Structure 1
Amino acid sequence: MKTAVSLRVRSAGIDYQVFFPYADAPVRAALLAAGVRYDATARAYLLSMEAELVQRVQAACAQLSIPLSAPPLPIIPQVLPPPTPQNELLARYGQRLALKRYSSQTVRNYNTAFRAFLVYHAPRLPLTLTHQQILDYMAERVATGISEAYQNLLINAIKFYYEQVEGQPRQYYEIPRPKRPLLNPKLLGKDEVKALLLHTENSKHRCMLMLAYGLGLRLSEVLNLTLQDIHSSRMVLYVRGGKGKKDRMLPLSEQLLHWLRDYYRQYRPLTFLFEGQQVGERYSDRALQLVVKQAAQRAGIQRPVTLHMLRHSYATHLLEAGTDIRLIQDLLGHSSIKTTEIYTHVAQRTRPASPLDNLGL
């Protein structure tokens, strides 16, 4: 039977249900790229009733030379309430963040923090507030027990509005900041890393943990990898758009490449190197942290373990093996050597013997 795609209006009247040969991987990948999504609750592939999305599906079908059957788009009148001044500010705020090309995580965090600032002072607008009122707001939030990291986020989000969106002078730098504690990085011993990997039987999960420890990748860097980032002929892995929008090239070990090939033969990802339950969908941050937590429990590690601890362990173990700290800085993608120097506080080779051992007691 000839391959075909058809759209049918669902009972709710806001989505089309998309019918096509689900086993046909190229067709499925093309439709997902065009905007079709899988709804686990409905157990069906759906497409929102938007002219632009329908046109993208039509173009995808035309490119694959397969027929598309689609009913005409219904005319749905929408009466939207006028935007509030706060909503207009949020729109301008989000636009400025987008133009500054901040990371998606930073955009979400700033938007959430600034929205809380607006809601607290509504109906007053930020430009009507005095500097003292902003300090009072910060003091009240601190009194609720927020973390120092979230306090800094609030300050940065508020500063961004006044200085970047409204072009105000940098007077808001005068908002007091908490003193950053100098904490040693939390890491795992080599035996603990080995136990963690040995107790991770799923090949996808093991490869993600091996990349975090074997190359010192951050969580976002692991999950943003694509198939094109692995160059087996040169034995390198490219990290694109890491923290600070920096790219870097890392040496790829033979053992890790072997595991990655076995994983690929089993899962056949299409877009991202590690995909979720739906093809072409990036594996989620929370799911990966849960993988680490469960692996640590199976390995008998009592204290809390996060994926970032594998990055800390990578850097510390390199330093203990005699690797030059400047090279470690480059491998980790640190802008400043001072950031890399925190590992000198925990590397075993930097600790002198106690003079008590020489007393012969």
Structure 2
Amino acid sequence: MRPIKLIVKTNSEKYPIIIGRNLISNLSHILKKNSISFKKCFLVLDQNIPNKYIKQIVNSLRKYELYKFIYNANEKNKNQKNVSKILDVLLKKNFSRDDCLISIGGGITGDVAGFAASLFKRGLKFVNIPTTLLSQVDSSVGGKTGINTSQGKNLIGSFYQPKIVISDVDFLKSLPFREIVCGYAEIVKHALIANKKFYNFLDKNVNEILKLKSPTIEKSIYESCKVKKSIVEKDENEKNLRKILNFGHTFAHAYEASLNFSKKLNHGEAVILGMKSAFEFSHNKKLITNKEFNSAIKHLNNSHFPDSIQNYFTLKKINQIISFMMRDKKNNSKNIKLMLIRKIGGPIIEKEFSHATIRLFLKKRLIN
């Protein structure tokens, strides 16, 4: 299958997303073809990337002055300390704004590397090579960068668009199945909020996608990126429309943070639980019909996905979950803002609810 190209046009940048197989061995050619030039190159590499892929990348970039930073990518290391380490190397090696930082890893690596690139001399050329399904369909599109703090997830960051995104599907073969599920969460989210036809495709092909079957997986990545692209182009800095991409995430981020970002629940799994919670809340408030609700819940109840928040939390955790929901970056009042759904494919609506309403909802879910 030939590579697929998608162009993202925002107010600050116009850049291509290339989706295909065996792309990294031709990395230098792809960069040149897309008019991305530099002399020095700094690679921020997720330590979990197999050596054979790193060798292909290094070999393709051999004509450049090359430096590497091996990053232990996890939510606890998504912090200012590691951003500072990257910046220190860039400064010591006398990088200029015309040089390039290349992120090679999942969404955490891309967030940290992109944030560092946005800070260095107010903007260094940034190339994103996402290596997980989650990052290929979500964090690689739209220019969000950021780090975590003790107060919550992604509370410090910037909007900084890459010069190019190169999504090599071959990377996905090295992932554990749990990471594939993690990425699928964002794929189905994009369908649920904006494309009923795409959702129907996923509903028929979910098991093929989870097995990374071609061309189904490439089509899913492309269609998912297309949904996010259309939203980001209209609202780059998340002032209005882009908020719909947070469907399920107010719950999800609170679930992750309440478990201290442990391996017990990864981001995609939290998003699946968060979407279930958002659907249940929408249904509870009579915002969605029984037919639409049942279809979505049936899809999200796939045996490969996390089942219920009861498997992760007890009643004692409710206050902590509420606290993290209050700190969500969308909130600007004493209430909690939720993105809720009326029907599959949209529209998504934003509504505020009191702590007591959210607490009662969670209590019922944890008791039943």
TMscore range, shorter length: under 0.3
RCO comparison, higher one (Cα < 8 Å, 6+) = 2
TM-score normalized with structure 2 length: 0.25
TM-score normalized with structure 1 length: 0.25
Greater Rg by CA? 1
More strand by proportion, 1 or 2? 2
